[in-house]
Structure 1
Amino acid sequence: MANEINVPVDQPTITAAIAAANTYDTIRVAPGIYYETVVIDKIVQLLGAQAGVDATSRGAFAMESIIVSSDTTGSVQIQSDNVVFDGFTVEMNTQWAGIFAPTTVSGYSIQNNIIRNNVTGMYVHSNGEKMVQIRNNLLVDNSGFGNAIYSSLGASNLLIEANYFAGGHSEASINIGGDPGTANNNLTIARNRFFRDNSIALTSTTNVKLIGNTMQETQGSSVFFGGATNYTEIDGNVLEGGISSGIRVTTAFSGGVPNANIVAHDNSIQGNAVAGLNLDTGAYDAATPNLRLDATNNWWGSPTGPAPIGTGNSVIDPDGVTEYVPFLTSNPLPAPEVVRTTGPVLRTGTDAQSIYVSILNNDTNNQASIQILGFDLSDGSKVPYVHELFYLSPVTDTTRTYHVQFTSQYEFQFGMTGTLDVNIAVWGLDSSGKVISSIRLVAEEMTSIQMLTPGVP
């Protein structure tokens, strides 16, 4: 019969609890900081203080069980099949990964965790015998090596679903690769959110499904093929506003081995700086029995289709291996929301204070939906006191003023749908209406919010 072990009540450390546990036991870890390397070498459930609570939306004031280590293999090492790791924060590994799993294991679950400020977020693999699930995690600023989720030795039968990736990953948000012949098979990457982060990068993969992901303002190409991939489906994704291409097809990491059998349908591909779809010469093998690259029935940002036949995001295809007609004449997917925040702002002095907000919709074609949320942070909790929803026509501006004299610390969040081309500026005003110089924010100074505030409509 399985038992439950509580840390630190029953055992002083997580390591001691694992050593004392039997197969199938549950280990519950109280809030606090645990300076230890956690090696999970038996089938157990390891549950942090936030087990079962989605890490992408549980808010900044949640009580966390925090693991800090600088182990060169990983702060948390999954060395057994069927492990459950749920509800932790893993941070500040200055040597390597927050979470590591070798190629000898499978069936494990990593869910509801915050993984931040490590050299790499997760360095995970699987032998494919049982499904691995990576779900509802928040991955932020794992910047040393530049990958949020990384696999280079082989990962099969893997589900990466409903995670949030936000900034600081200079290589890729999800990087599945290895030399040609590496066993990266049967992968599903679905319903994840990426905001101002980086690519889903695939090299040496077979049978991959990218379904329903939202990738906005990607700091590279949203979907990047490094070569030697076969059978990839890209279906129902938002690939918008990136600094490079929506889909990029290369042989950059495969020694010249091309990709084959790519199908992309019902995606919203628009506003990318270089192209919607961009293929290198020789990067795609359409020779029989392979299929031509099927990019039909996508939205390219214009009812006239992609350039060169229309005015939408372009298709660059020097080898002529792509089919992109017919195309969609309207966007099949709802507009995603961008949320930016002032972060916590301290009141200055004892004067009554107001916040003056200026909002400009720069988009010449699309209406912007704006939701403003204001929070009182005075007592350490996050209490909403402003909630306003309104719409701005193309090339229109407006202003709002909110009084905050009752609070010593506050935060404003701005949610935008319909267009990304919105500028917001925030000024603090004292009781005489003069600008408080320490509280003056423009759009570039506001941070991309990493999690929404639970319990707020």
Structure 2
Amino acid sequence: IITEQLTGTGLVKVTASDVTLDGFTIQTGGGPVVTMPGCVWIYQEGAGAAVTGVTIENNIIVNPDAAYVPSLAGICTTGSCQASVENNLISSIHMGVYLNQGGGMVISNNTIEDSNHCSIGVDSDVGVTIIHNTLHNANDMGIEVFKANVVANFNNITDTNLGVNSVHGLPVDATFNWWGDVTGPEQVTTNPDGKGNKVSDNVYYIPWLTRNFETVLTEGIGYYGYPMVELLTGWNLLSTPFALDPDYCDTWAEFASLNELPLYTGGDEYYVNAYYFDGDVQD
């Protein structure tokens, strides 16, 4: 366990390349602190060499003191840095992870919960990948993005006011995430009926997941959601993805046999000419 009074410089400082921090409990000690960068602070000293190959994994980073600590991040980068943040539990921190500059960053398989501000903040445009994380119960937002080149896929982003916020309106790839509801995230213009966490403009969220990402990856089924389409009176032609059920219909031949439909093949494609669905007799 690493714990002490906060001093304004971080509990663990990493200024060298090829460092791994694995399996620690890092706990703030509280105290009358105005600001500090992060419990784990990865930074480039002055004009020195870039800090690369850093791995922060399998740690527990918590702030048990109920007192608010401004600007505190569980993990923070400053300057020219490259790091992987994997399999950590970060709880009750102002910002779970804050990336200030740096590139080639990967944030994966973490649980970040009860953040006072945001689960993840990105102020780097050199490439950031956010994948397979559970971001839960942040007071303000799940992911706060200030720069471009941010990709956030296959995450659970739930119980926060704003799931993903593109602060300066730059595009953010936030497709294939679970937003807490099968109707997807609420977006005032493109998905106003979504009951999941909200997203700002210029956040690309379609398709979303209709299950948490663990279920989707474990079952290998494309549980993907799209905005509702308003049907008009008369004939409507819809093209939608669907999931094959391994218990009842897990091959194209079985699917075609449901209504004696001819099965066509062409190259690597398999398709049927039509499928009749009767809501009165079929589930």
Q: TM-score, normalised by structure 1?
A: 0.40
User: Partner amino acid for 2:100?
Assistant: T
Inter-partner Cα distance in structure 1 for 2:210 and 2:119? 22
User: Partner amino acid for 1:150?
Assistant: W
Inter-partner Cα distance in structure 1 for 2:204 and 2:24? 36
Say if 2:121 is the partner of 1:224. Answer: yes
Contact 1:142–1:148, Cα closer than 8 Å, also in 2: no
- 1:216 to partner: Cα distance: 1.1
Matching of residues 419-438 of structure 1 within 5 Å: none
Matching of residues 27-42 of structure 1 within 5 Å: none
Q: Give the one of 208, 213, 216 matched to 1:332.
A: 213
Deviations 1:217-257 (A, max 9, x none): 111110001x333211100001011111000012xxxxxxx
Runs of 4+ in 1 over 6 A off after TM superposition: none
Say if 2:175 is the partner of 1:296. Answer: yes
Inter-partner Cα distance in structure 2 for 1:212 and 1:190? 6
User: Any idea what SS the aligned residue of 2:197 has?
Assistant: coil
Contact 1:162–1:192, Cα closer than 8 Å, also in 2: yes
Q: Give the one of 27, 33, 36 matched to 1:140.
A: 27
Q: Give the one of 181, 186, 207 matched to 2:104.
A: 207
Contact 1:300–1:312, Cα closer than 8 Å, also in 2: yes
Contact 2:2–2:11, Cα closer than 8 Å, also in 1: no
**Which residue is equivalent to 1:151?**
42
Change (3 A) 1:123 1:159: same
Q: Which runs of 5+ in 2 are unaligned?
A: 45-49, 216-283
**Which residue is equivalent to 1:270?**
158
Change (3 A) 1:172 1:311: same
- 1:139 to partner: Cα distance: 1.2
User: Partner amino acid for 1:122?
Assistant: V
Q: Give the one of 15, 40, 43 matched to 1:125.
A: 15
User: Any idea what SS the aligned residue of 2:11 has?
Assistant: strand
CA RMSD of aligned residues (A): 1.8
Inter-partner Cα distance in structure 2 for 1:141 and 1:260? 32
Contact 1:238–1:333, Cα closer than 8 Å, also in 2: no
User: Partner amino acid for 1:260?
Assistant: A
Deviations 1:180-238 (A, max 9, x none): xx3212x100000012223200011110000000011111110001x333211100001
Contact 1:136–1:161, Cα closer than 8 Å, also in 2: yes
Inter-partner Cα distance in structure 1 for 2:55 and 2:29? 21
Contact 2:101–2:124, Cα closer than 8 Å, also in 1: yes
Say if 2:197 is the partner of 1:313. Answer: yes
Count residues in correspondence: 193
Deviations 1:112-131 (A, max 9, x none): x42333423112211x3xx2
Inter-partner Cα distance in structure 2 for 1:228 and 1:263? 12
**Which residue is equivalent to 2:91?**
195
Inter-partner Cα distance in structure 2 for 1:329 and 1:163? 30
User: Any idea what SS the aligned residue of 1:233 has?
Assistant: strand
- 1:140 to partner: Cα distance: 1.2
Change (3 A) 1:115 1:155: farther
Inter-partner Cα distance in structure 1 for 2:24 and 2:110? 15
Contact 2:182–2:211, Cα closer than 8 Å, also in 1: yes
- Computing the radius of gyration over CA atoms, which structure comes out larger, 1 or 2? 1
Contact 1:202–1:224, Cα closer than 8 Å, also in 2: yes
- 1:142 to partner: Cα distance: 4.7
Deviations 1:365-394 (A, max 9, x none): xxxxxxxxxxxxxxxxxxxxxxxxxxxxxx
Inter-partner Cα distance in structure 1 for 2:3 and 2:85? 18
Contact 2:135–2:156, Cα closer than 8 Å, also in 1: yes
